[in-house]
Amino acid sequence: MSRISFKNLIGILEIDFEDNRINRIRILPITSSLSKKMNSSATLTPIIQKIQDYFQGKKVDFQNIPLLFHGVTPPPIADLSGQSDEVGSVSGGMKGGGVTPLQKEILERVRKIPYGMTKSYGEIAKEFGNRNLARAVGQACKANPFPILVPCHRVIQKGGGLGGYSQGLEIKKKLLEMERGK
Would you say residue 144 lies in a domain? yes
pLDDT at 171 over 90: yes
β-pairing verdict for 119-120 and 155-156? parallel
The whole model's pTM is what? 0.80
Residue 74 counted as domain residue: no
Is residue 152 a part of any domain in this protein? yes
CA distances, 129 to each of 102, 123, 134, 157 (Å):
13, 10, 11, 18
Q: Is residue 139 part of a domain?
A: yes
Range among 12-21, 84-93, 151-160 with highest mean pLDDT value: 151-160
- Catalytic residue annotation: 152
Residue 131 lies in a domain: yes
pLDDT in tens, 109-167: 999 999 999 999 999 999 999 989 999 999 999 999 999 999 999 999 999 999 999 88
How confident is the model over 3-29, as a mean pLDDT?
87
For residue 155, is it within any domain?
A: yes
Residue 134 forms part of a structural domain: yes
Measured CA to CA, the distance from residue 87 to residue 96 in angstroms comes to 22
Structural domain boundaries, residue 135? 101-179
CB 53 within 8 A of CB 60: yes
pLDDT digits (tens, 9 = 90+) for 26-81: 998 877 666 655 455 566 788 888 999 999 999 999 998 999 887 654 444 443 33
CATH number at residue 114: 1.10.10.10
d(CA 140, CA 34): 28
What pLDDT was estimated at residue 78? 40
**Looking at the domain assignment, is residue 43 inside a domain?**
no
Complete DSSP assignment for 68-129: --SSBPPPPPP-TTS-------B-S---S----HHHHHHHHHHTTSPTT--EEHHHHHHHTT
Average confidence (pLDDT) over 68-95: 44
Total of domains in the chain? 1
